[in-house]
Amino acid sequence: MNAKDRIKNWQNESKADLESASEYINKDRLLHGLFLCHLAIEKSLKALIVSITNNAAPKIHDILELAQFAKIEFTKEELAFINILIKYKLHGRYPKGSSEIPSKNYSNNLCKESKDFINKLAKSL
């Protein structure tokens, strides 16, 4: 698969995950929806990495580490947002001992911020 196809695949997967996140949140499956928001950003970063390097994206899940590969520097606000989502990534992978369940309104806001951030990343492709 060439780099252009890999980028398109990552973008399509990111879009699908973000749509699913919204659906889960609307059905009050908030933690799973927020996990998918994290996953959508992760995949968008991988698309950007492929566009920069023309190589396969690294098989890691850490948004902060992926951002380093993509040569992205977060604003203070973006970093605060990413650190919130990281908490839900951990819940999605390790549900025992999870933190409190956020409100639906808060979850919808995080989903919207995820979409906005993904759109910003897409402009860098």
DSSP string of 11-29? HHHHHHHHHHHHHHHHTT-
User: For the segment 39-76, what is each residue's pLDDT rounded down to a tens digit?
Assistant: 999 999 999 999 999 999 999 999 999 999 999 999 99
Two tokens, residue 54: 């023309």
d(CA 122, CA 32): 24
Tell me the average pLDDT across 13-29.
Answer: 97
The CA angle 38-85-56, to the nearest 5 degrees, is 35
The CA angle 55-9-72, to the nearest 5 degrees, is 55
Average pLDDT score, the chain: 93
| Domain 3-120, CATH number (from 1.20.58.710, 1.10.4080.10, 1.20.120.330, 3.40.50.450) | 1.20.120.330
pLDDT of residue 33: 95
- Report domain extents, the chain: 3-120
- Cβ-based neighbours of 95, under 8 Å, separated by 6 or more: 31
pLDDT of residue 87: 86
* Predicted confidence (pLDDT) at residue 79 exceeds the cutoff of 90: yes
Among 54-58, 74-78, 83-87, 98-102, the least confident range = 98-102
Residue pair 74/67 in contact by the 8 Å Cβ criterion: yes
User: For the segment 108-118, what is each residue's pLDDT rounded down to a tens digit?
Assistant: 999 999 999 99
Rg of the chain on CA atoms, in Å: 14
pLDDT classification of 36: cutoffs 50, 70, 90: very high
Q: Give the long-range contacts of residues 64-68, CB within 8 A, separation 24 or more.
A: 66/42
* Predicted confidence (pLDDT) at residue 98 exceeds the cutoff of 70: no
